[in-house]
């Protein structure tokens, strides 16, 4: 069964929101990049909060039948990237998100309403 990329992105946001993520965003990259169809970007208030969001995504996305291709995180959980193929989910702590400003870097990408 193939799951639509937008459904994957919205499920990722739903799970992150269940863990009280901060400022979730879905960016539509379909017309501007071949990296993936959507970026999901959200934050946790601390490294521990980021880890809780990442752990919830690991468990709940798998339960939903959405398997990750790869997950990368730094040792301190300041930024985690989960690759679902057509969707890449970025979970930051607030300081790291402010530093990298992915929303600004990908400013040409329209934001999908949540």
pLDDT digits (tens, 9 = 90+) for 18-51: 999 999 999 999 999 999 999 999 999 999 999 9
Could you give the CA distance from residue 27 to residue 87 in angstroms, rounded to a whole number?
Answer: 10
What top-level class would CATH report for the domain 5-105?
Answer: alpha beta
Specify the pairing of strand 79-83 against strand 70-73.
antiparallel
Cβ pair 93, 79 in contact under 8 A: yes
Strand partners, 38: 28, 87
Residue 13 C-beta-side C-alpha neighbours within 13 Å: 19
Per-residue model confidence as pLDDT tens digits over 39-83: 999 999 999 999 999 999 999 999 999 999 999 999 899 999 999
- Domain borders along the chain are 5-105
Spatial separation of the C-alpha atoms in residues 34 and 37, rounded to whole Å:
7
What pLDDT score was predicted for residue 1? 67
The alpha helices in 28-114, defined as continuous H runs, are: 47-63, 94-100, 102-105
């Amino acid at each position: 069964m193939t799951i639509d990329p937008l459904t994957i992105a919205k499920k990722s946001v739903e799970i992150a929101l269940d863990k009280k993520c901060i400022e979730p965003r879905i960016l539509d990259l379909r017309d501007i990049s071949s990296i993936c169809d959507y970026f999901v970007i959200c934050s946790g208030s601390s490294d521990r909060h980021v880890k809780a969001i990442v752990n919830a995504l690991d468990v709940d996305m798998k339960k939903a039948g959405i398997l990750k291709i790869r997950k990368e995180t730094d040792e301190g959980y300041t930024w985690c990237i989960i690759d679902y193929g057509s969707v890449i989910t970025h979970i930051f702590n607030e300081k790291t998100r402010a530093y990298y400003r992915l929303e600004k870097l990908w400013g040409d990408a329209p934001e999908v309403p949540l």
